[in-house]
Chains A and B, each alone.
Chain A
Amino acid sequence: MSRYMPWLVLLIFASVPLWMQDQYFLHILITSGIFIIAAISLNLLLGYTGQLSLGHVAFFGIGAYASALGSLGFDVEIFGYILVVEPKPVWLAFMFGIVAAGLAGWFIGKISFKVRGAYFVIVTISFAEVVRLVALNWIDLTEGPMALNNIPPVTLWLPGSGETTFWRKLPNYYLVLVVAAIAFELIRRIVQSRIGRALVALRENEPLAMSVGIDVTRYLVIATIVSAAIAGAAGGLYTHYVRIVDPDIFLFIYTVTMVIMVIVGGKGTLWGPVVGGLLFGIMPEFLREVAAPEVQWIIYGVSMILIVFFLPQGIMPAVSRVWRDFRYSPSASAQTTKEGGG
């Protein structure tokens, strides 16, 4: 992909509200965007370190709850002390959510990377279930199944209009777009940095990576923290957009949705989660008219198996292969060999 591609895509998405007035379609794009941010964060772990986080929704949900609670204010009793937190501005609560999710990522990474193999998967999936139980049972803090209501929308100071509260879909759309662009750029920089090369080295051959002096566990923990924090940011966006959060946010199907987005789009590619996220964010809207939810999930499960069987690298690598073949068609093949397939 060329250097201008990200800017071109950003421009196209920024122009969507100009030619598409349908509010419902905008809503679908916003929720897809939030899931794309989560999928981008999952891709850092699944794609670049080869570690599958099956509890990614836990970080998403922790970000959502922490951000919601910070903006609503809460009081909680810990070992006899009562901690009272007054309602904070939304941007501060949003940062709080990111930090809380990052801390959870640190804990999970620290614990589960003591041993390799299936442990990380099992620990993350159990962690998500435990966090769901906590959200369900710690009613003093989370309201349990009654859900946290009336969460304030994002308020930002914007040039031209001053303090603006994001009640409508349009500003939320641009907010999600900006955060998604930041997450994309952050992951791009990490992947192309020393850390990214270390991560790929340990994915490909861990003993070799260790033998050249890469502190494997440390890099894995760093990747988990970054990934969890970005997922927490997605959760924060979600909570201030839909303005209600309940323990169902921790349902396993959301993790599965993120995993499918990454796998189908292409794990370990920058654009994979974006393509997969758009596909699986918009497709359900069309499937809904022809298929019941169960049938939809059967299709998801089967398509996941088929992708692994027949297109194990996902859509994006296949697309860029076709694209390259197209660009360097026989007449230009001499150039291809000179550039080494660049």
Chain B
Amino acid sequence: MKYVDEYRDPAQVKALLGEIGRVVTHPWKLMEICGGQTHAFLHHGLDDMLPGGIELVHGPGCPVCVTPLEQIDKALMIAARPEVIFTSYGDMLRVPGSTVDLFNVRAKGGDVRVVYSPLESLKIAQANPDKRVVFFAIGFETTAPPNAMAVLQARQRGIKNFSVLVSHVCVPPAMEAVLGSKHNRVQAFLAAGHVCAVMGYHEYPPLAEKYKVPIVITGFEPVDLLRGVLAAVKQLEAGKAEVENAYERAVTFEGNQPAQKVMGTVFQPVDRKWRGIGMIPQSGLGLRPEFESLDAETRFSVGEIVTQESPLCIAGEILQGLKKPPQCSAFGRKCMPQSPLGAPMVSAEGACSAYYKYHRDVIYG
């Protein structure tokens, strides 16, 4: 398949691995930000093929994993209401809230629907004027532009029975939180290529400079990932800390400006709690005041939610790259995809689910 197979070319992979092997002289810890990258490393078996000294530390870039429990509980409350059609990206349905997940709400009669685009939610709203249609607007800068577009279109087309439950998060503040932690062990970043396709990478030079850390914009196919690793290792070996683009075919310095404009029209930076991590200032996107009437939280007055987290799951440390899934005593034993204890085991981008799917040999041999 064009645009895929050439980036999974075994000969190029071999050549890149060889080059990385020749360059590396020290052990280095690289964090791939995006859960999609974590899954790609493990799906292709690439993590085991890297030269011994290079350790991948899996980052917090899993939108499902970091959506705070409060927001999920709000989603569950809204979705259970009889007059509501609750729409969401599929991946959110299995994430446990304090008590149940959206699958259970659906099984008990809630009208919960998977959509592939927020614009589908708008169509559902138009087709069901007697219902109140809510879209769960979560994710990073990748999903924020389409979600913002849905809000704009609802406003422009006067669709009154549509609202959004917003829980967007942004990558650069999370990187800064990782770097600023006293437990940080990350020495270089493979930045999330898809996020950079939207946002560009003009946000990164101050981070690279302040924390003296190489940041390499990296794609998702094996050749892309290895190019990212090679660039990061070369910088580390040379004592450099620069921002470098190893995903040129998709990413420019400025990014996708029309998309950024739509985001900026609808959303503004807000403090956001990250599930498993905690509050990170100005790390989220919320609706601007002029779009408050489209905010499901005010429409449904869900109020304060009291949540309780469990000591069993170490998702916070996983999302920070402080520990790896097999270091969790529940991994693969009490915590499995069909009965997850934490969101990283649920999501298609969660590190625990990646290890469970592709690497269970680490516990079962």
- Indicate whether A and B interact: no
Give the A-binding residues of B (Cβ under 8 A): none
A-side residues, CB < 8 A to B, are none
